Homo-oligomer: A and B are copies of this chain.
């Protein structure tokens, strides 16, 4: 299903990550790492990234590869939202045509933003899995479409991994990194960079209990299908390809994966808003929730990746004097 994937060699060296980082330099913000009210905890604010999500890193990595290799096919993806948004922006930047398929459950704020970049947006299926089925059918036409998986794609993994360099530079004394895990593109990329450069740093993934494919697959020693139900952390929900390239990277580079409940994620969203004044989406809150509930210890300086801020939200300014 992925014409591009087969053409390139496996991700193995830190040099691949460095190469992609240099290529992305003009298109990606180096987002701040800030302290917060919890001792020893720092937050990497990808909420302030272009498109308000880290996903734009992987998207630019893949699209700029298509540009480099003069591959002029229509870019195609399926995405709960942020990956589609990142691809739409990358496609617009390089003036490429782009089809984004999203499930009906995707937040309106993400759908509107994808449309605003001029992508051909198609809302199909009631879940990510259903939307993916349609996308894969289209992707079969490999002459017409360059399918870009949100996670099962070496360039996407390389792009997300660029965040790892920034962590090491911005917080040289970092001792642990907490990474939300859906398909595992971010976790595979960041953990690979961090562990290759600084093996002593702990790398911990966080999944929603409601949708914990990687967690259960690690226990099983191989990728397994799991029941999944909708999660407030929509960005890390849904089953993932059984042959995903992220799984062996996660097996090698992640020290642990922990689970958080929907109530814990929702509580973390509220506390990040009220105590840290940060608006984050559920996936980001999952990382914070793992720290709040002691599932990840912050006995060393610990960075939680605030992956994005694209959540439908209304503010109630009831107390204002107007």
Contact = CB atoms under 8 A, between A and B. Distances in A.
Interface string A205-238: 0000000000000000000000000111010000
Contacts of A4: none
A29 interface: yes
Interface string A234-274: 10000000000000000000000000001000100110011
Range class of the A interface residue count:
35 or more
A47 B277 CA distance: 7
Contacts of A320: 232, 234, 282, 311-312
Contact of A314 (B105, B109, B262, B318): B318
A168 interface: no
Interface in A70-126: 105, 107-109
A266 B322 contact: yes
Contacts of A313: 273, 315-317
A34 interface: yes
A319 interface: yes
Contacts of A318: 312, 314
A32 interface: yes
9 contacts: A32-B45, A34-B48, A109-B274, A231-B321, A232-B320, A269-B317, A273-B313, A312-B317, A315-B316
Given A105-B321, A232-B321, A312-B318, 9 more contacts: A31-B34, A32-B45, A262-B322, A266-B317, A266-B322, A273-B315, A311-B317, A312-B317, A314-B318
